[in-house]
Amino acid sequence: MLAPLHGITNYVFRNTLASHVAGIDAAIAPFLPVMPVEQIKTKSWKDILPENNTQWETMPQLMGNVVSHCVDTAQALADLGYPSVNWNLGCPMNQIVRRQRGCGLMPYPELIEDVLKTMGRKNRPLSLKIRMGLHHRKEGRAIIEMSNDYPLDFIIIHPRLGEWQYKGTPDLEEFAYLLSHSQHRIIYNGDINTVEDFNSLQRHFPNTHDWMIGRGLLRNPFLAEEIKGGIANPDLRKARFHAYYSGLITAIRENKGERSLLPALKEMWHYFSAFWCFSDKELYDLLRINDLCLFQDYVNKHTEIH
């Protein structure tokens, strides 16, 4: 399953990736702020309009903490054809956490329980995406314990604390604890960057069958394919990357317009640079370029297949 990366894995990105790689079964779309029914204009939710999501099974994600807004937004999504939604309890960004959203909700299991209770009563199927806590591991433990009383489709666990942001390494012992205390289907997420990472996690957690990958699939779009046994020869991999990259450029141009292209590519090259083994200096030089043609020249020169 492709992880949601706000600002990157939008429908344009997802559809292009889906046309160029195999091995990914589903995706969660980047978060959508919840809102009251009178503010909802589903036509503006381009990212999750069904006509823009015909390739993978894609699930929308909610961000927010007001119970009635969660219900209204889930209802609007159900009307669009998404019976089930994911709720973001993992985002560690300061401006989100400060407003008691995303990972900022993890210290407040009673607020989370209110949403679970109401969504359950209204027959709105829900899943969660959590970390192991914002500041303490006991926060994730409390949520896992409490959530056993409610129906959930699944829980995605990224075993870092929110205060770590993306630093440090996922705490596999804590993941094992949470896994063994949950009665729900658990999906592992965090730092699967290579086939070896995946194999080692699978050995650790033989009963886990669901895996979510984010940055690893940006760094290597063929990662899921390679995990599932598809072996690409090095030149073919590079040629396929080129085809994928030009597909992305065309799709961003068509859907988001020429002016969005350079900022979008810069965001992506933070990750794509790993595929081409750029040094820090090369990436730095690339990201400093503010002219699209020069940017593309630099990319072409540094991604030549010999």
Does 73 sit near ligand FMN (CB under 6 A)? no
Helix extents (H) in 150-291: 172-181, 195-204, 215-219, 223-227, 234-256, 258-275, 280-287
Does 221 sit near ligand FMN (CB under 6 A)? no
Are the CB atoms for 289 and 265 separated by under 8 Å?
no
Does 283 sit near ligand FMN (CB under 6 A)? no
Shortest Å distance, C-beta 12 to ligand FMN: 15
Stretch of 16-24, 45-53, 83-91, 147-155 lying at the interface with ligand FMN (CB under 6 A): 83-91
Shortest Å distance, C-beta 83 to ligand FMN: 19
Secondary structure letter of residue 120 according to DSSP: H
Secondary structure letter of residue 165 according to DSSP: T
Shortest Å distance, C-beta 288 to ligand FMN: 20
Please count the residues of this chain forming the interface with ligand FMN, following the rule CB under 6 A. 22
Pick 107 or 216: Cβ nearer ligand FMN: 216
Does 80 sit near ligand FMN (CB under 6 A)? no
Single residue of 12, 30, 62, 237 touching ligand FMN by CB under 6 A:
30
Sheet holding 155-161, edge to edge: 26-33, 57-63, 85-89, 126-133, 155-161, 186-189, 211-212
| Residues 128-157, mask of contacts with ligand FMN (x by CB under 6 A) | -x----------------------------
Single residue of 60, 133, 140, 216 touching ligand FMN by CB under 6 A:
216
Shortest Å distance, C-beta 115 to ligand FMN: 16
Query: What whole-number distance in Å separates Cα of residue 129 and Cα of residue 90?
Result: 6
Smallest CA-to-CA distance from 244 within 16, 5, 25 is with 16
Paired with 133 in beta bridges are 161
Does 162 sit near ligand FMN (CB under 6 A)? no
Single residue of 72, 171, 191, 225 touching ligand FMN by CB under 6 A:
191
Q: Give the sign of the dihedral formed by CA 202, CA 205, CA 206, CA 210.
A: negative
Give the H/E segment covering residue 76.
helix 67-80
| Residues 51-70, mask of contacts with ligand FMN (x by CB under 6 A) | ----------x---------
| Residues 100-119, mask of contacts with ligand FMN (x by CB under 6 A) | --------------------
Does 5 sit near ligand FMN (CB under 6 A)? yes
Does 159 sit near ligand FMN (CB under 6 A)? no
Residues contacting residue 89 through CB under 8 Å, at least 6 positions apart: 102, 103, 105, 106, 112, 128, 129, 130, 131, 143
Amino acid at 137: R
Residue with token string 């929308």: 60
Query: What whole-number distance in Å separates Cα of residue 177 and Cα of residue 94?
Result: 27
Query: Footprint of ligand FMN on this chain (CB under 6 A)?
Result: 3-8, 30-31, 61, 88, 90-91, 129, 158, 189-192, 213-216
